[in-house]
Amino acid sequence: MQIRFWGVRGSTPTPQLENMLYGGNTPCVEVRVNDHIYVFDCGTGFRNLGKSLMQERGNTPIYAHVFLSHFHWDHIQGIPFFQPLYENPDNYFFFHSSSRTRGLQRAIEDQMVDPYFPVDMSEMAAHCNFFDMDEERVAFDDCIVQSMWLNHPQGCLGFRLETDNGILAYCTDTEPGHPVYDRNVRKLAENADVLIYDAQYLPAEYEDKRRGWGHSHWREAVSVAIEAGAKELVLYHHDPDHDDVCLDAIVQAASQLYPRVRAAREGDVISI
């Protein structure tokens, strides 16, 4: 299993110079399992993934499963700019997410309707397939993906990808404090080789002004990793106001409590 980070920032893109070490694109994580492609979220980092796939594959068709945790803008805004959707009619993309609030296909299409975008999904040459997903375990090529609900306004799915070689847990956009959702997070993270977890806020920020906003902080991330027995913790969904210096300080503080911790950085690759 190979995990590559294409977007790590929460809420809105932040291309400022002071964020260039960790990156300013919004969430997108690519996972390769025996050359099968799985993508978690389609923020602005999804655009660069598309460019990379086009360069890698050329005219060879691309097949990928895409899992959307939810439909807030920072998790879908890269879709209209994903080049492989437009270029090759032999490309196949399988989108998976919940239709709890509205249809999956409609949620994606709506951000491209007049007056928000100059073209709609009818311009896409690739085959797009849409599959509703709730709390379930689904078998794919050489892996199993489990989904569970997290604590976030309007809902959010967390994912666990299991292979014979390792386990990835992807738990972004979740807030601690609800017993059911807290158990879900720990079930997804149980004995994971890599846990990608929402750490948008500093603990003091969360306590002072951010309760109820649907995000977590690095101290809770460490607690989840320890309690679930995760082998490596990746702090994710960085706050727009947390620059590289701030993220370095967060990693330094977290590593005093949990040795195998890093902050997600665009371009980083983790192999299991």
User: Which residues form the domain of 137?
Assistant: 2-264
- Domain assignment present for residue 269? The answer is no
- Domain assignment present for residue 272? The answer is no
- Euclidean distance between CA atoms 195 and 261, whole angstroms: 10
- Domain assignment present for residue 33? The answer is yes
Report the candidate in 85, 101, 83, 97 with the shortest Cα–Cα distance to residue 130. Answer: 97
- Domain assignment present for residue 270? The answer is no
- Euclidean distance between CA atoms 142 and 162, whole angstroms: 9
Give Cα separations from 52 to 12, 66, 267 (angstroms): 22, 16, 11
- Euclidean distance between CA atoms 59 and 61, whole angstroms: 6
- Domain assignment present for residue 86? The answer is yes
- Domain assignment present for residue 50? The answer is yes
- Domain assignment present for residue 238? The answer is yes
Asked if residues 149 and 181 have their Cβ atoms less than 8 Å apart, the reply is: yes
Q: Which two tokens stand for residue 258?
A: 């949990």
Strands 233-236 and 36-40: unpaired
Q: Report the CATH number at residue 152.
A: 3.60.15.10
User: How many distinct structural domains can be found in the chain?
Assistant: 1
Q: What is the pLDDT along the chain (272 residues), one digit of tens a residue?
A: 999 999 999 999 999 999 999 999 999 999 999 999 999 999 999 999 999 999 999 999 999 999 999 999 999 999 999 999 999 999 999 999 997 767 889 988 999 999 999 999 999 999 999 999 999 999 999 999 999 999 999 999 999 999 999 999 999 999 999 999 999 999 999 999 999 999 999 999 999 999 999 999 999 999 999 999 999 999 999 999 999 999 999 999 999 999 999 999 999 999 99
